[in-house]
Copies of this chain bind each other. A is one copy, B any other.
Amino acid sequence: MDFSNVTCFIAGDQGCWKMINNHNISGVPLPSFDCLEITQEKNENLKAAWILKGVSSNIRYTTKDEIDKLKAIQPGLGRPEATLSAMIPIKKSEEWWNLAQDERRRIIEDQSGHIKEGMNFLPGIARKLYHSKDLGQPFDFITWFEFAPEHEKAFDALLSFLRNSEEWKYVIREVDLRFRLNNLSF
Protein backbone atom coordinates (compact mmCIF):
# COMPACT_ATOMS: atom_id res chain seq x y z
CA MET A 1 0.00 0.00 0.00
CA ASP A 2 1.32 3.42 -0.91
CA PHE A 3 1.04 5.76 2.05
CA SER A 4 2.97 8.70 0.65
CA ASN A 5 -0.30 10.66 0.79
CA VAL A 6 -0.48 10.25 4.59
CA THR A 7 0.68 13.08 6.85
CA CYS A 8 1.99 12.05 10.29
CA PHE A 9 1.65 14.30 13.34
CA ILE A 10 4.38 12.99 15.65
CA ALA A 11 4.28 14.10 19.30
CA GLY A 12 7.65 13.62 20.97
CA ASP A 13 10.83 15.40 21.98
CA GLN A 14 11.69 16.95 18.63
CA GLY A 15 10.00 18.91 15.87
CA CYS A 16 9.39 22.39 14.48
CA TRP A 17 6.55 23.19 16.86
CA LYS A 18 6.96 23.57 20.65
CA MET A 19 3.84 22.57 22.59
CA ILE A 20 2.52 25.37 24.79
CA ASN A 21 -0.94 24.03 25.68
CA ASN A 22 -2.73 20.66 25.67
CA HIS A 23 -6.36 21.38 26.49
CA ASN A 24 -8.80 18.49 26.47
CA ILE A 25 -12.25 19.61 25.30
CA SER A 26 -14.17 16.30 25.28
CA GLY A 27 -13.55 12.56 25.41
CA VAL A 28 -10.26 10.84 26.20
CA PRO A 29 -7.28 13.26 26.53
CA LEU A 30 -4.00 12.97 24.59
CA PRO A 31 -0.78 12.56 26.63
CA SER A 32 1.36 15.68 26.79
CA PHE A 33 4.70 16.04 25.02
CA ASP A 34 7.37 18.62 24.16
CA CYS A 35 7.37 19.09 20.41
CA LEU A 36 5.38 18.24 17.31
CA GLU A 37 6.87 17.06 14.03
CA ILE A 38 4.68 17.02 10.91
CA THR A 39 6.00 14.77 8.16
CA GLN A 40 4.98 12.67 5.19
CA GLU A 41 7.94 10.35 5.61
CA LYS A 42 7.32 6.73 6.46
CA ASN A 43 10.19 6.49 8.93
CA GLU A 44 8.21 6.74 12.16
CA ASN A 45 9.78 8.15 15.30
CA LEU A 46 9.67 5.27 17.75
CA LYS A 47 10.16 7.56 20.74
CA ALA A 48 6.88 9.32 19.98
CA ALA A 49 4.34 9.92 22.76
CA TRP A 50 1.76 9.38 20.03
CA ILE A 51 1.38 9.60 16.25
CA LEU A 52 -1.80 10.71 14.53
CA LYS A 53 -2.26 10.38 10.78
CA GLY A 54 -4.47 12.01 8.17
CA VAL A 55 -4.80 12.63 4.45
CA SER A 56 -5.54 15.86 2.66
CA SER A 57 -8.48 14.74 0.54
CA ASN A 58 -11.10 16.14 -1.82
CA ILE A 59 -13.68 18.71 -0.69
CA ARG A 60 -16.66 17.02 1.00
CA TYR A 61 -19.21 19.81 1.62
CA THR A 62 -18.02 23.12 0.15
CA THR A 63 -19.81 24.40 -2.96
CA LYS A 64 -18.22 26.04 -6.01
CA ASP A 65 -19.43 29.52 -4.91
CA GLU A 66 -17.93 29.02 -1.46
CA ILE A 67 -14.65 27.70 -2.87
CA ASP A 68 -14.32 30.73 -5.17
CA LYS A 69 -14.81 33.07 -2.19
CA LEU A 70 -12.36 31.07 -0.05
CA LYS A 71 -9.68 30.92 -2.73
CA ALA A 72 -9.74 34.69 -3.07
CA ILE A 73 -8.79 35.27 0.56
CA GLN A 74 -7.38 32.15 2.23
CA PRO A 75 -3.66 32.18 3.08
CA GLY A 76 -1.28 29.27 2.69
CA LEU A 77 0.65 27.55 5.48
CA GLY A 78 4.20 28.59 6.35
CA ARG A 79 3.82 32.41 6.47
CA PRO A 80 6.82 33.85 8.37
CA GLU A 81 4.56 35.92 10.66
CA ALA A 82 2.45 32.86 11.60
CA THR A 83 4.53 31.82 14.61
CA LEU A 84 1.61 30.23 16.47
CA SER A 85 -0.30 27.11 15.50
CA ALA A 86 -3.04 24.79 16.69
CA MET A 87 -3.78 21.13 16.05
CA ILE A 88 -7.38 20.16 16.72
CA PRO A 89 -8.20 16.46 16.32
CA ILE A 90 -11.93 15.70 16.57
CA LYS A 91 -14.13 12.63 16.40
CA LYS A 92 -17.83 12.73 15.55
CA SER A 93 -20.51 10.29 16.70
CA GLU A 94 -21.92 7.29 14.83
CA GLU A 95 -25.17 9.24 14.62
CA TRP A 96 -23.37 11.92 12.57
CA TRP A 97 -21.80 9.43 10.18
CA ASN A 98 -25.10 7.67 9.64
CA LEU A 99 -26.73 10.90 8.40
CA ALA A 100 -27.22 11.39 4.65
CA GLN A 101 -25.02 13.84 2.73
CA ASP A 102 -27.72 16.55 2.54
CA GLU A 103 -28.48 16.21 6.27
CA ARG A 104 -24.81 16.72 7.20
CA ARG A 105 -24.41 19.65 4.83
CA ARG A 106 -27.57 21.27 6.30
CA ILE A 107 -26.21 20.99 9.85
CA ILE A 108 -22.69 22.17 8.92
CA GLU A 109 -23.75 25.24 6.99
CA ASP A 110 -27.48 26.12 7.18
CA GLN A 111 -27.70 25.46 10.93
CA SER A 112 -24.10 26.10 12.04
CA GLY A 113 -22.63 28.57 9.51
CA HIS A 114 -19.30 26.73 9.68
CA ILE A 115 -18.01 27.84 6.24
CA LYS A 116 -19.51 31.35 6.22
CA GLU A 117 -18.36 32.22 9.75
CA GLY A 118 -14.92 30.71 9.11
CA MET A 119 -14.47 33.14 6.21
CA ASN A 120 -14.73 36.07 8.62
CA PHE A 121 -11.40 34.95 10.11
CA LEU A 122 -9.54 35.04 6.78
CA PRO A 123 -6.88 35.90 5.80
CA GLY A 124 -5.57 35.94 9.39
CA ILE A 125 -6.01 32.25 10.16
CA ALA A 126 -4.51 29.65 7.77
CA ARG A 127 -6.20 26.24 7.90
CA LYS A 128 -5.59 22.76 6.51
CA LEU A 129 -7.92 19.80 7.02
CA TYR A 130 -6.75 16.18 7.20
CA HIS A 131 -9.14 13.21 7.05
CA SER A 132 -8.37 10.34 9.44
CA LYS A 133 -11.57 8.30 9.77
CA ASP A 134 -11.03 6.02 6.78
CA LEU A 135 -7.50 5.30 8.00
CA GLY A 136 -8.96 3.67 11.11
CA GLN A 137 -7.50 6.43 13.31
CA PRO A 138 -8.80 7.35 16.79
CA PHE A 139 -9.99 10.75 15.46
CA ASP A 140 -12.03 11.46 12.30
CA PHE A 141 -10.27 14.72 11.41
CA ILE A 142 -7.19 16.74 12.26
CA THR A 143 -7.40 20.46 11.53
CA TRP A 144 -4.15 22.41 11.51
CA PHE A 145 -4.16 26.19 11.93
CA GLU A 146 -1.35 28.79 11.69
CA PHE A 147 -1.62 32.45 12.71
CA ALA A 148 0.33 35.45 13.95
CA PRO A 149 0.14 36.26 17.69
CA GLU A 150 -2.18 39.22 17.05
CA HIS A 151 -4.81 36.81 15.64
CA GLU A 152 -4.83 34.44 18.61
CA LYS A 153 -7.90 36.05 20.22
CA ALA A 154 -9.79 35.90 16.94
CA PHE A 155 -8.86 32.23 16.64
CA ASP A 156 -10.21 31.54 20.14
CA ALA A 157 -13.43 33.33 19.17
CA LEU A 158 -13.77 31.15 16.06
CA LEU A 159 -13.36 27.97 18.13
CA SER A 160 -15.87 29.25 20.67
CA PHE A 161 -18.36 29.93 17.86
CA LEU A 162 -17.92 26.43 16.41
CA ARG A 163 -18.10 24.67 19.78
CA ASN A 164 -21.47 26.30 20.42
CA SER A 165 -22.83 25.30 17.01
CA GLU A 166 -25.37 22.60 16.14
CA GLU A 167 -22.61 20.71 14.31
CA TRP A 168 -20.53 20.38 17.49
CA LYS A 169 -23.35 18.45 19.22
CA TYR A 170 -22.05 15.52 17.18
CA VAL A 171 -18.42 15.94 18.32
CA ILE A 172 -17.63 13.25 20.91
CA ARG A 173 -13.87 13.76 21.24
CA GLU A 174 -11.80 16.92 20.82
CA VAL A 175 -8.37 18.07 21.93
CA ASP A 176 -7.04 21.63 21.49
CA LEU A 177 -3.24 21.61 21.15
CA ARG A 178 -1.34 24.90 20.82
CA PHE A 179 2.21 25.50 19.63
CA ARG A 180 4.79 28.15 18.89
CA LEU A 181 7.59 27.91 16.34
CA ASN A 182 10.49 26.09 17.98
CA ASN A 183 13.32 28.17 16.53
CA LEU A 184 12.19 31.47 18.00
CA SER A 185 14.12 33.23 20.74
CA PHE A 186 11.94 34.67 23.49
Contact = CB atoms under 8 A, between A and B. Distances in A.
A53 B137 contact: no
A136 B2 contact: yes
**Chain A: interface secondary structure?**
loop
Contacts of A43: none
A3 interface: yes
A183 interface: no
Nearest to A60: B101
Interface string A89-116: 0000000011111110100000000000
Contact of A100 (B1, B66, B131, B138): B66
A138 to B, nearest CB: 8
Contacts of A1: 53, 135-137
A29 to B, nearest CB: 19
A61 interface: yes
A58 B97 contact: yes
Contacts of A2: 136-138
A64 interface: yes
Contacts of A119: none
7 contacts: A3-B136, A57-B134, A58-B98, A59-B100, A59-B101, A62-B100, A101-B105
Given A64-B103, A66-B100, 12 more contacts: A2-B136, A3-B136, A5-B136, A6-B136, A55-B136, A57-B134, A59-B100, A60-B60, A60-B101, A63-B101, A64-B100, A101-B105
